[in-house]
């Protein structure tokens, strides 16, 4: 092999090793942080309080049963591997790289090979419920996986991911509260839920940073949320609504599916919200058909202008 090519290969290997070493150190830090904060910020508290079911709880007792997810996350001998795998997958997500089973085994699972299915399942649930990322197997032969954001990103989303971890899970939580409160939720209602999952105004959060700035400034600026004063309120109070970007990148049905999953239920278990979500799906489908029809008509008009029919 030519000397120049050998040098390039050595340099590439050094860069790869440096990245893995950095990831390993960060994984240890995440593991310590996650386990240390599991009391009030683990997936159990986070997802159990996404939505207060209120009236529908009495009508659907099985749907309102709370998941004892403390038993599913960060309690047991495999906790460290789950936390490490979550971080490893987030690292791959930010590097825009797929992750293979071989990589997971080598870098995270190691001696716990027999527990791989359980570790992967728990890590996948954590990524979905906290970070809003779905784990998809894209190659069943090589067991290759990718993480997919639950939002249908219409353009670069700096706010959602530029601070280390995706914010989609938090946004879906807020959108869920707004939807289930009649498509508008007061600031107090939002913070009642966020306080239950360890997010407080002015208090730095180890995942989401300073939550009030993120919610009332960043997500509003990015048009995921609308934040406005309630008309004629005295003293003044404020409310949240879905922003135009939330309407464009997700739907009431997708948010209800998210809410239902964290309640260990199906969307139809909440008939009032399910009916509204179905109506929204119908309206979206009709709008898409009309948009395609307008686009086709516009193309025909343009074609007629460029290539007028010969008389």
Indicate the residue among 118, 149, 180 that finishes a domain. Answer: 149
Q: Are 48 and 142 members of one domain?
A: yes
Q: Residue 239: CB partners within 8 Å, gap ≥ 6?
A: 184, 185, 186, 187, 227, 228, 229, 230
Asked whether residue 17 is domain-assigned, the answer is yes
Q: What is the CATH number of the domain that holds 239?
A: 1.10.10.1210
Q: Taking Cα atoms as reference points, which of 74, 93, 71 lies closest to residue 83?
A: 74
182 and 51 part of one domain: no
Range of the domain at 113: 3-149
Please give the pLDDT value at position 281.
95
Note whether residue 287 is domain-resident: no
Tokens of 12: 């590439």
Q: Are residues 73 and 172 in the same domain?
A: no
- Indicate if 218 and 121 belong to the same structural domain: no
3-state secondary structure of 74: coil
Do 68 and 105 belong to one domain? yes
Same domain assignment for residues 36 and 80 = yes
Across the range 232-242, mean pLDDT stands at 92
For residues 174 and 123, membership in a common domain is answered with: no
Strands (E), the chain: 99-100, 133-139, 144-149, 185-186, 225-229, 238-242
**165 is a domain residue:** yes
The pLDDT confidence band at residue 25, using thresholds 50, 70 and 90, is very low
Most distant pair of Cα atoms in the chain: their distance: 83
For residues 108 and 165, membership in a common domain is answered with no
Show which of 85, 116, 149 is a domain's final residue. Answer: 149
| Cβ contacts of 89-96, under 8 Å, gap ≥ 24 | 89/123, 89/127, 89/135, 89/145, 89/147, 90/127, 90/131, 90/147, 90/165, 90/166, 91/23, 91/26, 92/147, 93/133, 93/147, 93/166, 94/161
pTM, two decimals, is: 0.66
**Domain-ending residue, one of 249, 265, 287:** 249
Question: How far is it, in rounded angstroms, from Cα 33 to Cα 36?
Answer: 5
Beta pairing, strands 144-149 & 133-139 = antiparallel
Gap between the Cα atoms of 170 and 4, Å rounded: 49
Judged on CB neighbours under 10 Å (0-12, 13-18, 19+), 169 is buried
| CATH number of the structural domain spanning residue 85 | 1.10.10.1200
Q: Which residues are CB-neighbours of 108 under 8 A, at least 6 positions away?
A: 27, 81, 84, 85, 88, 119
Q: Note whether 177 and 185 are within 8 A (CB).
A: yes
Q: Say if residue 48 is in the same domain as residue 185.
A: no
Distance separating alpha carbons of residues 183 and 42, to the nearest angstrom: 28
Q: Is residue 297 assigned to a domain?
A: no
Percentage of the chain exceeding pLDDT 70: 69
pLDDT digits (tens, 9 = 90+) for 161-218: 554 567 888 899 999 999 999 999 999 999 998 887 778 888 888 777 889 999 999 9
Is 69 found in the same domain as 132? yes
Task: Say how many domains are in the chain.
Answer: 2
pLDDT digits (tens, 9 = 90+) for 239-284: 999 999 999 999 999 999 988 887 878 999 999 999 999 999 999 9
Considering the domain boundaries, does residue 45 fall inside one? yes
Distances in Å between the Cα of 257 and the Cα atoms of 129, 207, 247, 284 are 12, 24, 15, 17
| Tens digit of each residue's pLDDT (9 = 90 or more) over 55-70 | 344 344 333 333 333 3
Rounded distance between C-alpha atoms, residue 71 and residue 50, angstroms? 18
How far apart (Å, rounded) are the C-alpha atoms in residues 184 and 310?
Answer: 57
Using CA atoms, how far apart are residues 67 and 262, in angstroms rounded to an integer?
A: 8
Q: Are residues 15 and 55 in the same domain?
A: yes
Same domain, residue pair 102 and 176: no
How far apart CA 252 and CA 274 sit, in angstroms, is: 9
In a domain, 302, yes or no: no
Residue 256 belongs to some domain of the structure:
no
């Amino acid at each position: 092999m030519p000397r120049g090519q050998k040098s390039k290969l050595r340099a590439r290997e050094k860069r790869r090793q440096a990245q893995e070493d950095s990831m390993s150190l960060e994984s240890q830090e995440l593991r310590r942080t996650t386990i240390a904060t599991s009391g009030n910020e683990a997936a159990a508290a986070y997802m159990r309080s996404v939505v207060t079911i209120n009236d529908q709880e009495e009508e659907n007792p099985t749907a309102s049963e709370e998941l004892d997810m403390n038993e599913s996350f960060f309690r047991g001998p495999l906790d460290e591997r789950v936390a490490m795998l979550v971080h490893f997958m987030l690292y791959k997500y930010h590097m825009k790289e797929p992750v293979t089973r071989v990589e997971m085994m080598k870098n995270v699972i190691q001696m716990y090979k027999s527990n791989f299915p359980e570790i992967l399942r728990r890590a996948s649930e954590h990524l979905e419920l906290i970070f809003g990322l779905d784990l998809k197997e894209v190659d069943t032969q090589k067991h290759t996986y990718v993480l997919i954001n639950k939002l249908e990103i219409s353009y670069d989303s700096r706010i959602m991911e530029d601070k280390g971890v995706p914010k989609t899970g938090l946004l879906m939580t807020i959108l869920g509260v707004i939807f289930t409160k009649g498509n508008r939720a007061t600031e107090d209602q939002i913070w009642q839920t966020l306080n239950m999952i360890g997010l407080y105004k002015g208090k730095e959060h180890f995942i989401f940073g300073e939550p009030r700035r993120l919610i009332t400034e960043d997500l509003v600026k990015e048009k995921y949320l609308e934040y406005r004063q309630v008309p004629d309120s005295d003293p003044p109070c404020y409310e949240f609504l879905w922003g135009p970007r939330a309407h464009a990148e997700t739907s009431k049905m997708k948010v209800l599916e998210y809410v239902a999953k964290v309640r260990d239920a199906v969307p139809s278990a909440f008939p009032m919200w399910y009916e509204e979500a179905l109506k929204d799906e119908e309206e979206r489908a009709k709008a898409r058909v009309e948009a395609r029809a307008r686009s086709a008509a516009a193309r025909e008009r343009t074609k007629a202008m460029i290539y007028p029919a010969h008389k």
